[in-house]
Structures are given as structure tokens and as C-alpha cells.
């Protein structure tokens, strides 16, 4: 898939270095947008990074540079395996508002549909209004919130749950 010089693909274990680069950039540049901390991930071994690629991870590349990422985490229980959570959503600042995030979401939605997912879900900080508007524009709706779901610098912030059906 090509979005104005940006190529999006499902990465394999041989591209773990690109995964590491963009994920650590996301956690460093936008720490308040994620439930994980940079410090949690920078200490992972190469094998632990590879293990995280057991779940699908899509990366946007511009001239071989990773510039965006989205991952998919499928529910494990058999009665819930039609649901998956979108994780690690990030596009580098210079490519926001260009459609790269939409293309990543399209790629992950197509993949999810192909593996039998009926519903995409995600969590977003109640203070991350830009991301929430992006998700709303893409058909996600708030389905609930966990009060004080995230503790950041001693401050409790609500975690908003959003969902979008992939099938009618």
C-alpha cells in the first residue's frame, strides 16, 4: 500500500529493528499518549521485541525509515476471539494530517477482517482529544470509560474505550 511515498506493510521478525526504532520514538516523543513507558520497553531484549511480533504489527515506511505504527491484539478466549484491540498507534509529527494514519488503520482493518475479527476496540486517554477525533472520524464510538484508568505523575486520568464494527 502506498500513501504519497509512504509504504505500509505487515512486518516480520526480520524487521524487528524498524519496530524497535518507531516504537521507542513514539514512547519518547508522546509519553502521555501510551499506557507503557519508554523505560518499560527500552530494556527489552531482542528476543522480547521479536516475541511482540507474534501479534500483527503494521509499519509505515518512508524511504526505508519507519514513520508510523499500529498493532493488533486479538482476544485469547475462544468466545471473544472475534474482537481485537488496536495498540501502539503512532505517526511521526511531520506526517500527521497526511492520511498515513488512515492508511495504517485501513491496512490493519483489512488484516483483522481477513482473520475473522468482527469488532475493533481501543483505549485512548481522555486527554488525547486529537487522537479521539481521529478515531471518531474513522467510525469509532466511545463505548465506555475507566475512571482514573491511567496513573501519570500521581494524577489519575480516565481511559476511554472506543469500538468500531468491521461487519454489520
Ligand X SMILES: CC(C)(COP(=O)(O)OP(=O)(O)OC[C@H]1O[C@@H](n2cnc3c(N)ncnc32)[C@H](O)[C@@H]1OP(=O)(O)O)[C@@H](O)C(=O)NCCC(=O)NCCS
Nearer to ligand X, 97 or 116 (CB): 97
Grid cell digits, residue 12: 516480520
Q: Does 30 sit near ligand X (CB under 6 A)?
A: yes
CB 11 within 8 A of CB 63: no
Q: Does 124 sit near ligand X (CB under 6 A)?
A: yes
Binding mask 46-85 for ligand X (x = CB under 6 A): ----------------------------------------
Among 6, 11, 22, 89, binds ligand X (CB under 6 A): 89
Residue 19 has a CB neighbour count (10 Å cut-off) of 22
Q: Does 165 sit near ligand X (CB under 6 A)?
A: no
Nearest to 24 by CA among 35, 38, 13: 38
Min. distance of Cβ 100 from ligand X in angstroms?
A: 6
Dihedral angle sign, alpha carbons of residues 44, 21, 66, 166: positive
58-to-6, 51, 118 alpha-carbon distances in Å:
12, 15, 19
Interface ranges with ligand X (CB under 6 A): 30, 33, 89-91, 93, 96-97, 101, 124, 128, 130-131, 133-134, 137
Amino acid at each position: 500500500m502506498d500513501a504519497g511515498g509512504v509504504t505500509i506493510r505487515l512486518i516480520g521478525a526480520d524487521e524487528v529493528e524498524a519496530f524497535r526504532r518507531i516504537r521507542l520514538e513514539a514512547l519518547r516523543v508522546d509519553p502521555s499518549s501510551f499506557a507503557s513507558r519508554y523505560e518499560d520497553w527500552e530494556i527489552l531484549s531482542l528476543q522480547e521485541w521479536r516475541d511482540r511480533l507474534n501479534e500483527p504489527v503494521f509499519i509505515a515506511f518512508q524511504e526505508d525509515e519507519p514513520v508510523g505504527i499500529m498493532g493488533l491484539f486479538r482476544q485469547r478466549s475462544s468466545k471473544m476471539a472475534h474482537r481485537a484491540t488496536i495498540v501502539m498507534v503512532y505517526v511521526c509529527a511531520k506526517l500527521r494530517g497526511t492520511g498515513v494514519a488512515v492508511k495504517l488503520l485501513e491496512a490493519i482493518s483489512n488484516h483483522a477482517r481477513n482473520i475473522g475479527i468482527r469488532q475493533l476496540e481501543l483505549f485512548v486517554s481522555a486527554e488525547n482529544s486529537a487522537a479521539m477525533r481521529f478515531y471518531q472520524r474513522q467510525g469509532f464510538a466511545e463505548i465506555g470509560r475507566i475512571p482514573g484508568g491511567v496513573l501519570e505523575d500521581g494524577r489519575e486520568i480516565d481511559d476511554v474505550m472506543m469500538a468500531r464494527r468491521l461487519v454489520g
